[in-house]
């Protein structure tokens, strides 16, 4: 069997290296090229004509969706989006319009994607089918993108992906590159993402920064008590206790604790 030829596009080099390492463990699959932005990805696809392109959904120059539009139909490969999380991609994933891999990508899940791609390539009309699938998915994603803030966060737990409603999240606490999400019923989830990037996707009228490493849902703040050094202890309705930093405590006093 001829090896499935794969192109990887991601603006983060460690992410590309990670995917290449996973693919090296899969029989009948090989990496034929990589790109660090959307424009390079579109150009590389035209030149290399891979069987499958693994595209990060958010890239400089062109997004993953925009890359798809740039590729001529006669040179179009199969596509799968790879992203840390994105509400738009979740929509497409739920519709099964396109394949969607959640970072950090699991080897077994990637193997499924590659197997599915190989099976599609065996059909004579795969390009026509893929074009229609991508058109439907793109329409869905573009319509959804106007809605703004995240409504759900996909979290991988073993082989499953849980869609955690944002309005059920009580707090998000960072520890290095990991974020620990705690819900109203104290269920805990872990994702690999940067807190500042997640904060930018959450409604600022609902989630407030407590410190460099913590966010809290204002709807679940039960009471606030003064603490040492002009800081506060924030008590949440799920029983959590979080401490605000000195800088954020000043913001709390001006934005939240005054009528």
- Domain parsing of the chain, residue ranges: 4-145, 152-255
- Local confidence pLDDT in tens for the 259 residues of the chain: 589 999 999 998 989 999 999 999 999 999 999 999 999 999 999 999 999 999 988 888 888 878 888 888 888 898 888 877 655 555 555 444 457 787 888 899 899 889 988 888 888 888 777 777 666 555 555 544 445 678 888 887 766 778 888 999 999 999 877 899 999 999 999 987 788 888 888 888 899 999 999 999 999 999 999 998 889 999 999 999 999 999 899 888 887 777 6
List alpha helices for 122-237, DSSP H. Answer: 126-145, 195-200
- At residue 89, the pLDDT reads 55
- At residue 141, the pLDDT reads 52
Give the closest residue to 198 by CA, choosing from 250, 156, 233, 152: 152
Structure tokens at 73: 């139909």
**Cis, peptide link before residue 75, omega less than 30° from 0:** no
Element (H, E) at 23: helix 13-23
Instruction: Please tell me the CATH code under which domain 152-255 is placed.
Output: 2.40.50.1020
Helix 107-121 vs helix 126-145: angle between axes, to the nearest 10 degrees?
A: 130
Ramachandran region of residue 81, left (φ > 0), alpha (ψ -120 to 50) or beta? beta
The domain at 4-145 falls in which architecture?
3-Layer(aba) Sandwich (3.40)
SS3 1: coil
Cα separation, 8 vs 44, whole angstroms:
10
Cβ proximity of 154 and 161 under 8 Å = yes
**Strands 221-226 vs 178-183: parallel, antiparallel or unpaired:** unpaired
- At residue 86, the pLDDT reads 58
CA distances (Å), 224 to each of 82, 177, 239, in order? 40, 28, 13
């Amino acid at each position: 069997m001829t090896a499935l030829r794969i192109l990887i596009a991601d603006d983060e080099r460690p992410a590309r290296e990670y995917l290449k390492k996973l693919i090296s463990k899969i029989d009948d699959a090989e990496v034929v090229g990589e790109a660090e932005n959307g424009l390079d990805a579109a150009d590389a696809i035209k030149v290399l004509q891979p069987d499958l392109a693994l595209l990060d959904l958010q890239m400089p120059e062109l997004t993953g969706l925009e890359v798809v539009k740039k590729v001529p139909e006669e040179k179009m490969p199969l596509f799968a989006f790879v992203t840390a999380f994105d509400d738009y991609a979740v929509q497409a994933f739920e519709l099964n319009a396109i394949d969607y891999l959640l970072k950090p990508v699991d080897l077994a899940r990637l193997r499924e994607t590659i197997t599915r791609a190989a099976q599609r390539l065996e059909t004579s009309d795969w390009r026509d089918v893929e074009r229609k699938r991508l058109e439907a998915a793109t329409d869905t994603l573009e319509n959804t993108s106007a809605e703004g803030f995240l409504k759900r966060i996909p979290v991988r737990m073993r082989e499953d992906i849980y869609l955690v409603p944002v309005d059920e999240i009580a707090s998000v606490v960072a520890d290095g590159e990991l974020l620990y999400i705690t819900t109203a019923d104290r269920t805990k989830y872990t994702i690999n993402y940067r807190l500042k990037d997640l904060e930018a996707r959450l409604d600022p009228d609902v989630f407030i920064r407590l410190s460099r490493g913590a966010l809290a849902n204002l709807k679940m703040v039960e009471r606030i008590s003064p603490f040492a050094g002009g800081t506060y202890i924030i008590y949440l309705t799920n029983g959590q206790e979080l401490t605000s930093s000195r800088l954020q405590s000043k913001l709390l006093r001006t934005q939240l604790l005054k009528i």
